[in-house]
A = this chain, B = another copy of it.
Amino acid sequence: MAASETARIEAFSDGVFAIAITLLVLDLKVPRELGQERTLDRALLAQWPAYIAFLTSFLTILIMWVNHHRMFTLIGRADDRLLFYNGLLLLGVTIVPFPTSLVAEYLRHDGQRTAALVYNGTFILLAICFNLLWRTAAVKDRLLHPHADPVAVRRIFDSYRYGPVWYIVAFGLAFVSVTLSIALNLALAMYFALPGRVRQAA
């Protein structure tokens, strides 16, 4: 496969990222059955868990897109293994709106622990997929661009090594406090999304 092969993989992946990130808005529901007690502004405020879940998932997918993007600036060729792991990663990305809905619906209600565990479990799997995809491309420079900057390559290895750890911590934290677990998810997403840290997070 030629270098242009990578271009088509990136274009297809960009499409999936863009659609998954935009479908998240479907979790923001228009409140119904209002009354004297339940005015529209109260009903809107009452669904704050949906906003937290939306914001966290939006930022997380955005960071994943930035990282995917950065990885592919270093990758020069594609093979079947790369296609497979990239497919696995996209599978994870398209799923994200589902656990986001679970958290939006069940945070502060019975079942919130289950929702938080599924949510963090999805992110752990995504972090593992990123590691597998990167190792497929970069171990022994298998598929890297011949002129790929070794410093940038090393930096990605370093950061991806510790990526899954944070989500395992958030996963474990859900057994102690669901609120803390989701708060850690949001904090991670905001921290990595801030400029200047994006680079290190990649």
Contacts and interface: CB of A to CB of B under 8 A. Distances in A.
B87 A62 contact: yes
A52 interface: no
A81 interface: yes
A111 B80 contact: no
A151 interface: no
A83 B15 contact: no
Contact of A83 (B8, B83, B95, B195): B195
A39 interface: yes
Interface string A11-43: 110111111111111101010001000011100
Contact of A115 (B23, B40, B114): B40
A94 interface: yes
Given A34-B110, A80-B198, A84-B198, A17 B12 contact: yes
- The copy count of this chain in the complex is 4
Mostly, the A contact residues are helix
A101 interface: yes
Interface size class of A (residues with CB under 8 A): 35 or more
Contacts of A98: 25, 28, 30
Contacts of A95: 25, 28
Interface of A: 5, 8, 10-12, 14-26, 28, 30, 34, 39-41, 44, 55, 58-59, 62, 65-66, 69, 73, 79-81, 83-84, 87, 90-91, 94-95, 97-98, 101-102, 105-106, 110-111, 114-115, 118, 193-196, 198-199
17 contacts: A5-B73, A12-B65, A16-B22, A19-B22, A26-B26, A28-B95, A28-B98, A30-B98, A30-B101, A30-B102, A39-B110, A55-B91, A58-B91, A62-B91, A81-B196, A83-B195, A84-B195
